[in-house]
Amino acid sequence: MRSTAGKLGHAVRAGGVTPVLAAAVLWGTVGPAQMLADSGAAPAAIGACRMLLGGLVLGAITARPAGVRSLWQPGSRGWTVVSVLVTAAFQVCFLEAVDREGAALATAVTFGTVPAVSGLCGRVFTGERLGRVWTRGTVCAVAGIALLLLPADGGPVDRTGVPLGAVAGVSCGVYIAATKQLARRGADTAAAAPVSVFGAGILVLPWVFARPDGLAEPRALVLIGWLALATTTLGYLLFTLGVTRISAATVGTLSLAEPLVATVLGVLLLGERPGALTAAGSLLLLGGLVLVSLPGRRSVPVPAQQP
């Protein structure tokens, strides 16, 4: 009987690992896909199209009228607005960071920043204890970003993509906190994602009219389709399918696949070759991500996925 129960438990865990890992792999392709498409369209305009299409399809699959109404009840509507705003900020800043710094570096900065921000938000809003592991991981992340801001090889370099990636990470961390607050207030979090994504798309829509160049090109249309349908709609569905079946620590560990996939694709397909300083900074960032993903620290926030 004990053996049968163990096999059943293993099957349940495996059933959660596969979809969460698949979602992380999909999300890791966002930056490389943008660089590979090389469409010439403005990143913000691409992001707006991604959010509008992805939000519509995701909403058609997951959102219920009662769930959408729950997001606008007293006590919830403020956090719904916050989630829309930070989703818009994430899309614009992350895609701009990829455009300026490359897929591997932008992804490392963004998702190396998330655990620190989500931890601080947890401390402020719910009184979560941060612990020494979180502190060490945050120190690693800050040190990594500081290294990445230094001029490469002693020469001048445009590093505006690094702070943009950090802002994207901050936005993602705040989005996690907003989602938790919506859940505490009885709102339907299954409806929160499509509402946030679609609402953010409306906010960023002016970029489509201001910078429409290149959006109608086949490369741009394929990129928008991939980002909206694969990385947004399918990625979210896979993540929600598996996240309730595995521990928070396991989710954090699997999330490491996202920057790993971006780095591997950046090297193999895009020819990205980080210098010594960039490599050291990226390793420090990923090291911090590993630290906060270690098991046995359930009070430490897990680096959740992009909005």
pLDDT tens-digit series, residues 78-124: 999 999 999 999 999 999 998 888 887 888 888 878 777 877 887 78
pTM higher than 0.75 for the full model? yes
Return the pLDDT at 20: 82
For residue 111, CA distances in Å to 162, 174, 292 come to: 12, 13, 12
pLDDT bucket at 292, cuts 50 / 70 / 90: low
Does position 53 have pLDDT exceeding 90, yes or no? yes
Alpha carbon 163 to chain centroid, angstroms: 16
CB 251 within 8 A of CB 118: no
Separation CA 273–CA 237 (nearest Å)? 33
What percent of the chain shows pLDDT beyond 90?
A: 28
Separation CA 183–CA 294 (nearest Å)? 25
Count Cα atoms within 13 angstroms, Cβ side, for 39.
25
Return the pLDDT at 303: 44
Separation CA 129–CA 300 (nearest Å)? 7
18-22, 223-227, 280-284: least confidently modelled range: 280-284
The values of phi and psi at residue 229, to 5°, are -90, -40
Range with top average pLDDT, 149-158, 237-246, 296-305: 237-246
**pLDDT tens readout for residues 233-288:** 998 888 878 766 776 556 666 777 787 788 888 878 877 776 777 777 777 777 77
CB 203 within 8 A of CB 91: no
